[in-house]
Amino acid sequence: MMPFDSSDPLPPEADLALAWSPPAVRGPMAAAFQLDRRLARIVARTTEPMLGQMRLAWWRDALGKPVADRPRGDVVLDAISAEWAGREAALATMVDGWEVLVTADQLDRDAIEGFGAQRSAIFGALDGDLRPAEAEMVAAAGFRWALADAAGSVSDAGERAMLIDAGLGRSAPRGRMPRPLRGLAVLNALAVRSLQRGGRPMMEGRGAPLIAMRAAIFLT
């Protein structure tokens, strides 16, 4: 059985997105962010792809079980059981996204597209009443967040350039983000700024909080 441990501190942009999110969305989004941090840590510590896949498979299997049959005592899994019951498929897709980085021989454009789309699948599941154009907008915003966050973590300049190019190249319909996903509007604005600055941390600089506030007020 996979050892249980505590939740990881969230990055400041995630905390800001949660602060701008309505209560109905805040709990599920926080649990998803905690799972994302746990998966990122697994991938970062993986030196043998097969071992990384086994650790990710533990999460996929746990998410596929009924809530009553899951192990108890892991703060992240317990939060998921409380906040995501019936919607775990989106979280399993996030696991698939992180697995792309474990199994890919090199980080090429196809791997980046798969990672970004699958890692960010959680956002579309946070609002079950999205129109097609809104769903496309949400998917694009989540994709940019996923790649901007990754760009700030990779050490290879070529991989970082590909992540930035893919993130900035993602188009979406113009319009306002659905109000329940105000936190995603914040992440999207910070992600675009980060990508335009060469993959710098999303909350770096004095302008980041102002960018976030403008997105939350005027883009939802």
Residue 27 resides in a domain: yes
Cβ atoms of residues 178 and 138 within 8 Å = yes
Q: pTM of the predicted model, to two decimals?
A: 0.94
pLDDT reported for residue 1 = 42
pLDDT reported for residue 219 = 76
122 closest CA partner among 148, 95, 155: 95
pLDDT reported for residue 7 = 67
Residue 4 resides in a domain: no
35-64 exposure pattern, b = at least 16 Cβ within 10 A, e = fewer: bbbbbbebeeebeeeeebbebbebbbebbe
pLDDT reported for residue 6 = 57
Distance CA 70, CA 110 (A): 34
Residue 1 resides in a domain: no
Residue 76 resides in a domain: yes
What is the H or E stretch that residue 53 is in?
Answer: helix 49-64
pLDDT reported for residue 5 = 52
Residue with token string 């990710």 = 56
Counting the structural domains of the chain, the total is: 1
Cβ atoms of residues 91 and 118 within 8 Å = no
Instruction: Write the CA distances from 70 to 60, 66, 73, 80, 84, integer angstroms.
Output: 12, 7, 10, 11, 13
Residue 124 resides in a domain: yes
pLDDT reported for residue 129 = 87
Cβ atoms of residues 20 and 186 within 8 Å = yes
pLDDT reported for residue 3 = 43
Sites in the chain below the pLDDT cut of 70? 1-7, 220
Residue 161 resides in a domain: yes
Residue 5 resides in a domain: no
Cβ atoms of residues 122 and 94 within 8 Å = yes
Residue 3 resides in a domain: no
Q: Any idea what the Cα angle at residue 84 is, between residues 38 and 51, rounded to 5°? A: 30
Residue 201: domain span = 12-218
100 closest CA partner among 115, 87, 85: 115
pLDDT reported for residue 120 = 98
